[in-house]
Amino acid sequence: MNHDHRDEMDIREEKVERREDSGRVASTFIKYAAYLIIFFGILYFLVNYIFPML
């Protein structure tokens, strides 16, 4: 009863394919760019209009 350990296990070979849809990457970039523009716009508003009133 000398069994090889590999005989008892199912050996699976899995390929991991990295798919990057260029449309998804572009839309994510646009989304985060919009977040940054909104953030800096609010910051600009606060610095130029709100802080001088204090």
What is the model's pLDDT at position 15?
78
Provide Rg for the chain, Cα atoms. Answer: 28
What is the model's pLDDT at position 52?
87
C-beta neighbour count of 45 within 10 angstroms: 11
What is the model's pLDDT at position 35?
98
Which contiguous run of DSSP H or E holds residue 48?
none
| Digit-coded pLDDT (tens) for 1-54 | 555 555 556 677 777 776 678 899 999 999 999 999 999 999 999 999 998 887
* Structure tokens belonging to residue 4: 């090889």
